[in-house]
Amino acid sequence: MPIVVFNQKGGVGKSTITCNLAAISASQGLRTLVIDLDPQGNSTSYLLGAFATEDQPNVAGFFEQTLSYSFRTVPPTEFIVETPYENLDLMASSPALNELVVKLESRQKIYKLREALQQLADTYDRIYIDTAPALNFYTRAALIGGTGCLIPFDCDSFSRQALYGLLESVNEIRADHNPDLKVDGIVVNQFQPRANLPQRMVAELIEEGLPVLQPYLPASVKIRESHEQSKPMIYLDPNHKITLALVALHDALRA
């Protein structure tokens, strides 16, 4: 069940949500993989920290091999590295993704990630895919290969304006490429329950019939500490309010 975390707006918490949900899956004994398709590599930095190296296997290497005419294809598992956390592996990002995209598009390699995900289905119980803040080649490849999509929403008017376009993009990919793709839900992030605007905005989304998930993720400076230490919340502070909200969100997705 590959889950794609997708939003074309930056700063809405895609990497934070991806890595924390994955870490919770791993902590519950599920074999878990994160695929970081964002050239900025925030999920890679979050999960590996000082263990990240320039020469480690990564997702750019996977895509680069799809451009080769060699009869010997390296399995996708060869581009995966272990993280410091039990049951949690990573297909790391690389800045080389930016250099490869033109060749991948011209050679129509958009379905190669889906083939890899199908091969990895027997190895992992959960696969989470972090994407760049753009509907680019890699994001489309992820949506074509995924079965579910999570859309982070940070209660900002610009996010709301973009939300309808995101849902249309998912519907288009479902119609043209991937009938199994569904929107698992909208994840309300950095929610401030005492502020009027977030409450009103979320209530309006629910009234429109959009799949808003609960619980909402509260705003917390503890997340910054989690980023700085490269330690997802379930390992940093398992009893913190945002950790408990993330666990409840994770378990709601599994139900």
157: which 2 tokens? 């008017």
Helix residue ranges, H only, 84-195: 96-106, 112-120, 137-145, 157-176
CATH of the domain at 223: 3.40.50.300
Asked if the model's pLDDT at residue 255 lies above 70, the reply is: no
* Banded pLDDT at 70 (limits 50, 70, 90): low
Query: In the prediction, which pLDDT does 192 show?
Result: 86
Please give the single-letter amino acid code of residue 138.
Y
Alpha-carbon gap, residue 225 to 113, rounded angstroms: 33
Q: 150 - beta bridge partners?
A: 5, 185
Asked if the model's pLDDT at residue 213 lies above 80, the reply is: yes
Asked if the model's pLDDT at residue 55 lies above 90, the reply is: no
Query: What is the domain extent for residue 165?
Result: 2-254
Please give the single-letter amino acid code of residue 185.
G
* Banded pLDDT at 251 (limits 50, 70, 90): very high
Asked if the model's pLDDT at residue 50 lies above 90, the reply is: no
Per residue in 178-197, pLDDT tens? Answer: 999 999 999 999 888 878 88
Per residue in 85-132, pLDDT tens? Answer: 999 999 999 999 999 999 999 999 999 999 999 999 999 999 999 999
Structurally, how many domains does the chain consist of?
Answer: 1
Distances (CA, A) of 9 to 27, 64, 219: 29, 27, 18
